[in-house]
Structure 1
Amino acid sequence: MKAIAIVLFTLLMGKGCSGNGAELALAKLTYTAQSRGVNKVITIQNQDISVESGRGKDATVTVSTISEGDWNDLVRQFDKIELEKMETYADPSQERFHDGAAIANLTVEYNGKVYRSKDFDHGNPPKELKALVDKIFSLISEK
């Protein structure tokens, strides 16, 4: 009887820990894009999304709640990311080196750790992050 209980417990725990869906609810995602003319910070935490555009006194901040359907889509995209490997994802272009694109990156804070991607061109994330970044931008009115 103990063996059955242990096997059942192990299966339930394994199923509950698969994917990052539960982690996304406890994580904080921050997408930043910066250049001389661009300053955008998108923060997702607890099913809320905050968008800061501009600098100093000209900065605007909007906060809204992510719908259940969009949240579920975001969770699916987040599940595909291997947090420990984020910093190794290759940037597909280097337009930011000559002011051809703003410098962007994605940071995930979870469980006391910070996972950060390499810098990449705003609008052209690493292929492993593309679906997640595209979903993030679909949640805000301007791109």
Structure 2
Amino acid sequence: MKALVLVLFTLLMGKGCSQSNADLASAKLTYTAHSRGIHKVIVLENKELTYENGRGKDATLTASTLSDSEWEALVGQFKTISLEQLNTYADPTQARFYDGAAIANLTIEYKGNTYRTKDFDHGTPPVEIQPLITSLLALIKE
């Protein structure tokens, strides 16, 4: 009887934790940062990175394919994020309120659902997504 309870408990815990094993290959990440002076959009979808810098006729668009090591690093960081709680992560600073930083956010489209952070200061993301944002920003070539 104890063995049956243990097996059922293990199965239920595995189902409950399945979100933490989210598959980055099935997701589309969009990071945006904008203010009067900057406009950046980074889109990551299945090892393909697209970066738009600027607005209108001054905009530049760059596309690249991530290396296996870059991809694996992002996969590991993505797995640590709880998509359902993404919009509850607190912004550590509020410099965007007085034009001290660009307004940034992260949107994740995963399995037909869209998850979005609250706005935060570009360069100072919530602690829970900081490694992922730092890695994304490191991949763009300005």
Q: TM-score range by the shorter chain?
A: 0.7 to 0.9
Match of 2:120 in 1: 120
Matches within 5 A, 1:78-97: 78-97=78-97
Match of 2:103 in 1: 103
Matches within 5 A, 1:8-19: 14=14, 17=18, 19=21
How many residues are paired up? 129
- Please list the CA deviations of residues 93-139 of structure 1 after superposition, one character each: whole Å capped at 9, or x if unmatched: 00000000000000000111100000000000000010010111121
Structure 2: how far apart are the matches of 1:140 and 1:53?
Answer: 10
Matches within 5 A, 1:126-141: 126-141=126-141
- Please list the CA deviations of residues 46-102 of structure 1 after superposition, one character each: whole Å capped at 9, or x if unmatched: 110000000011110000001001100000000110000000000000000000000
Match of 2:74 in 1: 74
Structure 1: how far apart are the matches of 2:71 and 2:138?
Answer: 12
SS of residue in 2 equivalent to 1:49: strand
Normalised TM-score (structure 2):
0.86
Structure 2: how far apart are the matches of 1:46 and 1:76?
Answer: 14
SS of residue in 2 equivalent to 1:123: coil
SS of residue in 1 equivalent to 2:85: helix
Gap regions ≥5 residues in structure 1: 1-6
Match of 2:3 in 1: none
RMSD: 1.7
Structure 2: how far apart are the matches of 1:73 and 1:124?
Answer: 20
Runs of at least 4 residues of structure 1 off by over 6 A? none
Normalised TM-score (structure 1):
0.85
SS of residue in 2 equivalent to 1:106: strand
The amino acid of 1:95's aligned partner reads A
- Please list the CA deviations of residues 7-49 of structure 1 after superposition, one character each: whole Å capped at 9, or x if unmatched: 8xx97xx59x5612xx210110000000000100000001100
SS of residue in 1 equivalent to 2:86: helix
Gap regions ≥5 residues in structure 2: 1-6
Match of 1:33 in 2: 33
